[in-house]
């Protein structure tokens, strides 16, 4: 049986959240999507609230993943402990609330979703994501494994792709908010994309008002981040997988405006 997995890039602020709510379910129907993973760590600019997580889930996400801003809103901690469909990076310290991996039943098909964070220029205090992946692959039984690797360095993401090829069905990168054009199927059958992009304002710098980013680079004080008005986009990728073998047959980039 063929299944189609949709991975959606970082949802940024209210503009991105509203666009997701408008477009995700119609797009899932149009493309015959079976399972959807949405990175939601920027819904409140830095972090997200429980209410925002619930909105992403209600919009059509089966799993919500996070990243370096997972605890940007400290009140999310209890929600992470109590809610199985939201994941923070698995290689955070064991003292962090929540979980970094889950196995979800898709009508008898078991789908493992793993959330990892990179250490190259992002989170040096985290455990090694490569060895963490090894451990998680040994925990529980799953037919398919999907990986959201929230990392800054493209080399780290590419290396993880080769490391997990043949052991995971799909791996995508998040964090940079800029989509890459290297979608591919690795030699042993794993679908891959270095970065999905983001879900947020089109006329923005990574989802925020352009003038605020310009002010930062000029050495000024940009103030609290603001979401621009105007049109928005939902970026990500569709991975077509064979449920019997776990192999990916195609990767299609997504940009819904």
For residues 228-239, one letter each, b for 16 or more C-beta atoms within 10 angstroms of the residue's C-beta and e for the rest, the string is: beeebbbbbbbb
Rounded to the nearest 5°, which phi and psi values hold at 137? -65, -20
Given a contact cutoff of 8 angstroms between Cβ atoms, the answer to whether 168 and 189 are in contact is: no
State whether residue 164 is helix, strand or coil: helix
Query: Nearest-5° angle of CA 143, CA 11, CA 31?
Result: 50
Q: Which of 19, 69, 150, 175 is catalytic?
A: 69
Edge-to-edge strand ranges of the sheet holding 109-117: 101-106, 109-117, 144-150, 170-174, 191-193, 184-185
Rounded Cα–Cα distance for residues 246 and 144 (Å): 5
Residue 217 neighbours by CB distance under 10 Å: 9
Q: In the annotation, is 177 catalytic?
A: no
**Buried residues in 96-121 as b, exposed as e (16+ CB within 10 A):** bbbebbbbbeeeebebbbbbbbbbee
Question: Other C-beta atoms within 10 Å of 5: how many?
Answer: 25
Active-site annotation, residues:
69
């Amino acid at each position: 049986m063929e299944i189609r997995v949709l991975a959606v890039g970082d949802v940024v602020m209210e503009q991105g959240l509203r666009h997701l709510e408008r477009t995700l379910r119609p797009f899932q129907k149009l493309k015959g999507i079976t399972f959807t993973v949405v990175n939601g760590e920027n819904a409140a600019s830095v972090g997200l609230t429980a209410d925002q997580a619930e909105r992403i889930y209600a919009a059509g996400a089966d799993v919500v993943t996070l990243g370096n801003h997972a605890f940007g809103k400290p009140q999310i901690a209890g929600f992470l402990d109590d809610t199985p469909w939201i994941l923070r990076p698995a290689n955070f310290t064991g003292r962090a609330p929540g979980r970094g991996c889950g196995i979800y039943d898709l009508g008898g098909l078991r789908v493992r979703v793993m959330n990892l964070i990179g250490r190259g220029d992002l989170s040096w205090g985290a455990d090694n994501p490569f060895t963490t992946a090894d451990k998680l692959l040994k925990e529980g039984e799953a037919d398919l494994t999907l990986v959201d690797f929230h990392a800054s360095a493209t080399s780290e993401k590419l290396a993880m792709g080769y490391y997990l090829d043949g052991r995971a069905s799909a791996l995508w990168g998040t964090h940079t908010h800029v989509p890459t054009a290297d979608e591919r199927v690795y030699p042993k059958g794993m679908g891959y994309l270095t970065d999905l992009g983001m879900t947020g304002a089109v006329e923005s710098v990574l989802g925020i008002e352009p003038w605020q980013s310009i002010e930062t680079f000029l050495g000024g004080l940009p103030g609290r981040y603001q979401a621009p008005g105007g049109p928005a986009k939902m970026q990500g990728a569709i991975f077509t997988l064979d449920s019997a073998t776990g192999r990916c047959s195609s990767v299609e980039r997504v940009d819904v405006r």
